[in-house]
Amino acid sequence: MSDFHGNLHNVSVSQSSNIDLEMGTQDYLWKTMGNLTQDSYVKGFDPSQKAKVDDPMEWLTLVTSLKPKETLLTSFKPKETSLPFLRDRDLPDDRVKDKDYSLVFVPKESWAKLVEWSLTSMTTLGRWKANKVAFMSCVFSNHMKCSYATFQKDKTKFKVEGLLHDYGTGQLPPHGRTGLVWDVDASRMYVPVFVHGNHWISMCVNFVTRTIEVFDCAGLKHQKDVEPFANLIPWIVKAVQSAENKKHLNVIKYKVVLGFHTGERRQHS
């Protein structure tokens, strides 16, 4: 123990005479170091700081304002897209919103008036019995065009089912549901077709002569636009026949002919 104490150095503790014992630590630092600054502000700690936030909500606003601004890329959100879907069902809510509502959808009471008018007025419909004529909608035309794309991919696997079959049996369109089976109860059918994105034409499908008569004010056949109907209608006709009639019915493409347009009809009348 004597050796241990012998190795100790004498240590003297002294206190500077400049220290004011009554001065607080912060005041002493201020006097010794001068103007101190800090990254964060603590109220009442460093009077040299200029940015004072008395209200906690002001500090929250300051923090949120430091967030990086959205750029053109970060703020971009892709629009929701969906595949086009064709349907021909009696949905009143959807019908009213359609921009072509008055052209496409016919109320039942209006349809009844049309039938009565066709029976009592002198029109071209008078050449045939009204209960032998069917009318299609533009939704039917669009569905035929889409189905034709499937038909072209593989004719051997193509089947007439679903909506196509319902059209052939007269269950569609809903505004003119007749229950007339093509080439059994109905002998003719009128169809509106939208072509080239800016023009309407009409067709008269004759199930007896197996022809499609095109009516266009420009006097054109629109062979490419009528192609889906000329090819698919024979398939639909056969699909809706009885099992016995199917045996004797061949699927042959309908012939497309040009009907009278306005000028020709005036000359012939």
Q: What is the pLDDT along the chain (269 residues), one digit of tens a residue?
A: 555 555 555 555 555 555 566 666 667 666 666 555 555 555 555 555 555 555 555 555 555 555 555 555 555 555 555 555 555 555 556 656 666 666 666 677 777 777 777 666 555 555 556 678 899 999 999 999 999 999 999 998 999 999 999 999 999 998 778 899 999 999 999 999 999 989 999 999 999 999 999 999 888 889 999 999 999 999 999 999 999 888 888 899 999 999 864 444 434 33
- Where in the chain does DSSP place strands (E)? 133-135, 188-195, 199-206, 211-215, 255-258
Q: How many residues does the chain have?
A: 269
Write down the number of H helices and E strands in the chain. Answer: 11, 5
Cβ 258 vs Cβ 222: under 8 Å: no
What integer pLDDT is reported at residue 235 of this predicted model?
96
Greatest CA separation for the chain: 145
What integer pLDDT is reported at residue 40 of this predicted model?
53
What integer pLDDT is reported at residue 267 of this predicted model?
40
CA dist 226 and 212 (Å) reads 8
- Among residues 136, 146, 166, 139, the alpha carbon closest in space to that of 239 is found at 166
What integer pLDDT is reported at residue 236 of this predicted model?
97
What integer pLDDT is reported at residue 22 of this predicted model?
64
Residue 111, φ and ψ in degrees, nearest 5: -65, -40
What integer pLDDT is reported at residue 141 of this predicted model?
94
